[in-house]
Amino acid sequence: MSVLLENLGKRFGDGAPVLDGVNASIGAGEFVALLGASGCGKSTLLNIIAGLERPSSGALEVPADGAAFMFQDAALYPWLTARGNVELALKLRGVGKAERRARATELLDLVHLGEAADKRPHELSGGMRQRVALARALSQDREVLLMDEPFAALDAITRDLLHDELTRIWRETNRTIIFVTHNVREAVRLGQRVLLLSSRPGRVVSEWAVPGAVKDDAAAAAALTADITARLREEIRRHGK
Amino acid sequence: MASNVTELEPGAHAAGTTRTETEDLRALEAGLDELQSEAAHRRRDWGRVALPLGAVVVVLLVWQIVASLGLKRQDLMPGPLDVAASLAQLWREGQVQEAIVTSLTRGLLGFAVSIVIGTPLGLLLAQVRPLRRAFGPLISGLQVLPSVAWVPAAIIWFGLTDGTVYFVVLMGAIPSIVNGLIAGVDQIPPHYRSVAKVLGASRLELALQVVLPAALPGYVAGLKQGWAFSWRSLMAAEIIAVGGSLGFGLGSLLDQGRTLSDMGIVMGAIIAILAVGILIELLVFGPVERRLLRRRGLLAGATR
């Protein structure tokens, strides 16, 4: 088991709880999509898993070396080239200088950006920047990769391509990926499992397995998407008065 | 595509994508990358040289016209040609060269010391909240205080020595550099720090690898202002403190012109002071700033 959440709760100060009784277990090498509307505490949950915040209650088990993180914004440093950004991550991990360069080249090749390695972020398109961010996240060499709506700001064509790309990289690198999204179609396309979080407080209320056969069959995938969407809407409707 | 998607189960990872499909994806991505990237184009921009030169010519022409109108006596209001003659005379005597070398050496040395003191001070103040709260207003206040105000105190402490001049230069430049660096740090997008934290940066690494480079544009603006302040306060100090073991700088030349009631020398000294300032801007700060902004993609559409 790679990540185990038991009755996890989080509240800030005296406010209403953001997360309440979150239970989930995510296997090593699994690709899990975390789906939820606004206010479900997705980002808080990821921060807790990444060790950036402490839960108020409950227990969690994560790999000792922590997790790599990828944000909605590529958040590349504009004064560094694509390679420089990846190299900085390696440097902060304590990788030696000679190895840094080789490893950064390797990682940029993995995301098919070998030729753009010497470009600066402002010379790259949004999709290319996210791929550099992915290479940077992978450079941390951690078993778990947390992704917080990484493709939400991209155009449809690019996002579509990056879905294929991420699937390929996941297969090649054997990472455990927890992918937060509020796009049902994206969740079904990427995840082996989709977990639905309720909003205010956040809690895992439903879960679906997405077998390869379903992904492969457009009709089955559409049916599952509709099913999940209905459940998500029901959850949202609960908040209207 | 259809053949491999079925293998999306755990354990079947590596076997999934066939070689051709990876190639296919790579080609597709390369096409999209090409479509979405804009080709950067740079060309030689003669306007950058011609326009400022033209502006100088216009100013000189206007000055010459006003001077030749004869509104004032020629020795009180010399034209550009008269001043050029004065400067040529001073040049033959070797006075301008001596004054420029003396002042520039002092200015650059004082400025260098200010950078060495101001940079760690600014970084410390920007990164440590209690220090910032305690000393921030004081440093901002020092920036408002004209550093010439320190000349009397400096003369009492150091007498008519180079110490006086350097003290005044430091008091002018350091607050500007500190404030520029703080302003630069304040403008860093918050996610730069959170990314660094996620990547495992220590406090020192955060300061040196992320905060300092991210704050570089503000820092350079602070340096530029710091240089201007040190150059100005240096001139003021040189005008006020003359004699003793003090060398002969541009300010001293200016004061000499005043003593001799020679407007040619006075205007010549002013032009020399201005020229040094402009040259430093053109040769040092201008290129550094432009390069910095271009590399970060902040120059497009700017009027610079």
**pLDDT grade for A241, boundaries at 50, 70 and 90:** low
Chain B CB contacts of A27 under 8 Å are 10
Enter the DSSP assignment of A202.
B
Cα–Cα distance, A188 to A221 (Å, whole number): 7
Q: How many CB atoms lie within 10 A of CB B49?
A: 11
Co-location of B19 and B153 in the same domain? no
Structural tokens at position B152: 């009397």
State yes or no: pLDDT of A81 exceeds 70: yes
Which of B225, B216, B219 is CA-nearest to residue B192?
B216
What band does A83 get if pLDDT is binned at 50, 70 and 90?
A: very high
How confident is the prediction along chain B (304 residues), in pLDDT tens digits per residue? 344 444 334 444 444 456 677 788 888 888 888 887 766 556 667 777 788 889 989 999 999 898 888 787 777 888 888 889 989 998 999 888 999 999 999 999 999 999 999 999 998 998 888 998 898 888 888 888 888 888 889 989 988 888 888 999 999 899 999 999 999 998 898 889 888 888 888 888 888 889 989 999 889 989 999 999 889 888 988 888 877 677 788 988 999 898 998 888 999 999 999 999 888 988 888 888 888 888 888 776 666 6
Identify whether the C-beta of residue A188 lies closer than 8 Å to the C-beta of residue A215: yes
User: Would strands A19-26 and A3-10 be described as parallel, antiparallel, or unpaired?
Assistant: antiparallel
- pLDDT at residue A169 in the model: 87
Instruction: Report A:135-194 residues touching B (Cβ under 8 A).
Output: 136, 140, 157-158, 161, 164-165, 167-168, 170-172, 174, 192
Same domain, A61 and A156: yes
Rounded Cα distance between A44 and A26, Å, is 17
Shared domain check, B9 and B100 = no
Please give, rounded to a whole number of angstroms, the shortest distance from the CA of B8 to a CA of chain A.
5
In whole angstroms, give the CA distance from residue B66 to residue B77.
9
A127–B contact, CB cutoff 8 A: yes
The confidence score (pLDDT) of residue B6 equals 40
Helix (H) or strand (E) holding B126: helix B95-127
Other beta carbons less than 10 A from residue A170's beta carbon: 22
Closest CA to A22 of A197, A232, A200: A197
- CB pairs < 8 Å spanning A and B: 115
Distance CA A15, CA A34 (A): 24
Q: According to the model, what pLDDT value does residue B46 have?
A: 76
Number of domains in chain B: 2
Distance from the Cα of A171 to chain B's closest Cα (Å) equals: 4
B128 and B272 together in one domain: yes
d(CA A178, CA B124): 38
Contact B219, B292 (CB under 8 A): no
Residues of the domain holding A188: 1-66+143-241
Q: Which residue of A has its CA nearest to B28?
A: A161
Do A233 and A150 belong together in one domain?
yes
- Whether residue A186 is contained in a domain is answered as yes
Q: Flag if A116 and B191 touch (Cβ within 8 Å).
A: no
Taken in order B125, B131, B136, B138, the sign of the CA dihedral is negative
Once rounded to an integer, what is the mean pLDDT over residues A11-15?
83
Q: Which pLDDT score, from 0 to 100, does residue A178 have?
A: 93
Residue B248 forms contact with A (CB below 8 Å): no
Q: Do A125 and B37 touch (CB under 8 A)?
A: yes
Q: Please report residues of A whose CB lies closer than 8 A to that of B296.
A: 78-79, 120, 122
Of the three residues A121, A141, A161, the one that is the final residue of a domain is A141
If asked whether residues B121 and B239 sit together in one domain, one would say yes
Q: Is B105 found in the same domain as B7?
A: no
User: Which residues 24-63 of A are in CB contact (within 8 Å) with B?
Assistant: 27, 29-30, 50, 52
The boundaries of the domain holding residue B22 are 2-29
* Identity of the residue in A73, A75, A216 whose CB atom sits nearest the CB atom of B2: A216
In this predicted model, what pLDDT tens digit does every residue of A173-200 receive, in sequence order?
A: 888 999 999 899 999 999 999 999 888 7
Of A83, A105, A87, the residue nearest A96 (C-alpha): A87
Tell me, yes or no, whether B133 lies in a domain: yes
Cβ atoms of residues A2 and A177 within 8 Å = no
| Cβ <8 Å between A93 and B200 | yes
Q: Residues with Cβ < 8 Å from A65, sequence gap 6 or more? A: A142, A143
CA distances from B173 to B46, B102, B157, B223 (A): 34, 18, 20, 8
Q: Is the domain of B13 the same as that of B137?
A: no
Residue B49 CA to residue A186 CA, distance in Å, equals: 54
β-pairing, A144-148 with A67-70? parallel
Q: CB under 8 Å to A9, separation ≥6 — which residues?
A: A17, A19, A20, A21, A22, A55, A56, A57, A58, A201
What is the average pLDDT across A3-21? 85
Enter the tokens of residue B2.
């259809």
Say yes or no: A149 and A56 in one domain. yes
Residues of B in Cβ contact (< 8 Å) with A121: 297
Nearest chain A residue to B202 by CA: give it: A92
Is B47 a domain residue? no
> CA of A111: which chain B residue's CA is closest?
B26
- What's the confidence (pLDDT) of residue A1? 64
Residue A218, in any domain of the structure: yes
- Same domain, residue pair A60 and A155: yes
Q: Is residue B52 part of a domain?
A: no
Residue-wise DSSP of B170-198:
HHHHHHHHHHHHHHHHHTS-HHHHHHHHH
B5/A215 touch (CB, cutoff 8 Å), yes or no: yes
- Residues in Cβ contact with A236 at an 8 Å cutoff, skipping those fewer than 6 apart: A37, A199
A30: which chain B residues are within 8 Å (Cβ-Cβ)? Answer: 10
User: Based on the domain organization, do A14 and A90 belong to the same domain?
Assistant: no
If asked whether residues B13 and B138 sit together in one domain, one would say no
Instruction: Say whether both A137 and A149 belong to one domain.
Output: no
Q: Does A229 touch chain B (CB under 8 A)?
A: no
Q: How many domains does chain A have?
A: 2
pLDDT > 80? residue A119: yes
Q: Given this model, what pLDDT does residue B304 score?
A: 60
C-alpha–C-alpha distance, residues B291 and B91, integer Å = 36
Give yes or no: residues A174 and A56 share one domain. yes
Q: How confident is the model at residue A154 (pLDDT cuts 50, 70, 90)?
A: confident
Residue B221, in any domain of the structure? yes
B303/A54: higher pLDDT = A54
What residues of chain B lie within 8 A of the CB of A44, using their CB? none
Q: How confident is the model at residue A87 (pLDDT cuts 50, 70, 90)?
A: very high
Query: Based on the domain organization, do A132 and A151 belong to the same domain?
Result: no
- Interface ipTM: 0.79
Within 8 A by CB and 6+ apart from B151, the residues are: B164, B168, B236, B237, B240, B241
Output the CA torsion A108→A34→A208→A223 (10° steps): -80
Q: What is the pLDDT of residue A218?
A: 87
- Chain A partners within 8 Å of B14 (Cβ): 171-172, 174
Do A161 and A62 belong together in one domain?
yes
Give the pLDDT mean for A140-156. Answer: 87
Q: Quote helix, strand, coil % in chain A, to nearest 5.
A: 45, 20, 35
Residue in B closest to A154 by C-alpha: B36
Average pLDDT of chain A, as a whole number: 87
Tell which of A1, A52, A79, A190 to mutate to test the B interface (max B CBs under 10 Å): A79
Find chain A residues with C-beta within 8 A of B29's C-beta.
Answer: 112, 161, 165
Nearest CA in chain B to A138: B199
The answer, for A118 touching chain B at a CB cutoff of 8 Å, is: no
pLDDT for B300 equals 66
